[in-house]
Amino acid sequence: MQLKNPILGLCQQSTFMLSAAKVDQCPDDEGFEVAFAGRSNAGKSSALNTLTHASLARTSKTPGRTQLLNFFKLDDDRRLVDLPGYGYAKVPIPLKLHWQRHLEAYLGGRESLKGLILMMDIRHPMTDFDLLMLDWAVASDMPMHILLTKADKLTYGAAKNTLLKVQSEIRKGWGDAITIQLFSAPKRMGLEDAYTVLAGWMELADKGAEIAE
């Protein structure tokens, strides 16, 4: 017999809800929301798809693909949000400014936002944008969990070394409330830890865990 994390069931039944180009198009600001942020091409949509066992979020070889805030419904009170990737140079400036404005408005004003999952490509962690997000999370008391994505691109030893290095840098600079783990979408690596974080933020952790066969 195995205890099953209740978030798993919700993620498996998640459905696409809506895309918002502006903050006033977002769903009602109530319940629990967790947003997936990160540099363009870091693997946000892939991580979301892997965690939800679906191809809900569009992934692409072309960075800058996710152009809107995409909402996925877990249940009536809980949502996941795929944010547009920041930092993609080829996006036209007016569009960039549009996203930046709306992303800032979303992050700064969203009451139901309970935590941010920040994706960093393990081969290029801690970009300037990541540092800004870390600063923002600490300044606004927003829980943050980091996925070092594409861990399959390195040997396990090299991935582990990078994890320890980035973790120590974050502890020194931003404190130990921010947690971090390895993740790989194709290898389905790191799912359990990510589910545990989501369940905690969405207040599902203590609700009598379902019993799986």
Ligand X SMILES: Nc1nc2c(ncn2[C@@H]2O[C@H](COP(=O)(O)OP(=O)(O)OP(=O)(O)O)[C@@H](O)[C@H]2O)c(=O)[nH]1
Residues that bind Mg ion (CB under 5 A): 44-45, 66
- Sign of dihedral through CA atoms 166, 170, 176, 180? negative
Q: Does the footprint of ligand X cover residue 63 (CB under 6 A)? A: yes
Nearer to ligand X, 150 or 204 (CB): 150
Distance CA 194, CA 174 (A): 20
Q: Does the footprint of ligand X cover residue 52 (CB under 6 A)? A: no
Nearer to Mg ion, 182 or 185 (CB): 185
Q: Does the footprint of ligand X cover residue 14 (CB under 6 A)? A: no
Nearest approach, Cβ of residue 141 and ligand X (Å): 25
Stretch that binds ligand X, among 19-27, 59-67, 96-104, 129-137 (CB under 6 A): 59-67
Q: Which of 98, 143, 152, 209 binds ligand X (CB under 6 A)?
A: 152
Report the residue closest to ligand X, judged by CB. 85
Task: Say if residues 16 and 45 touch (Cβ distance below 8 Å).
Answer: no
Nearer to Mg ion, 66 or 184 (CB): 66
- Laid out side by side, the sheet with 78-82 consists of 15-20, 69-75, 78-82, 32-38, 113-121, 144-149, 179-182
Q: Which of 5, 14, 52, 66 binds ligand X (CB under 6 A)?
A: 66
Q: Name the strand (E) or helix (H) holding 70.
A: strand 69-75
Distance CA 21, CA 51 (A): 24
Nearer to Mg ion, 45 or 162 (CB): 45
Q: Which residues are CB-contacts of 202 (< 8 A; sequence separation ≥ 6)?
A: 7, 32, 34, 74, 78, 114
Task: Say if residues 141 and 169 touch (Cβ distance below 8 Å).
Answer: no
Residues numbered 96 to 125 that lie near ligand X (CB under 6 A) are: none
| Contacts to ligand X by CB under 6 A | 38, 40-46, 59-61, 63-66, 85, 149-150, 152-153, 184-186
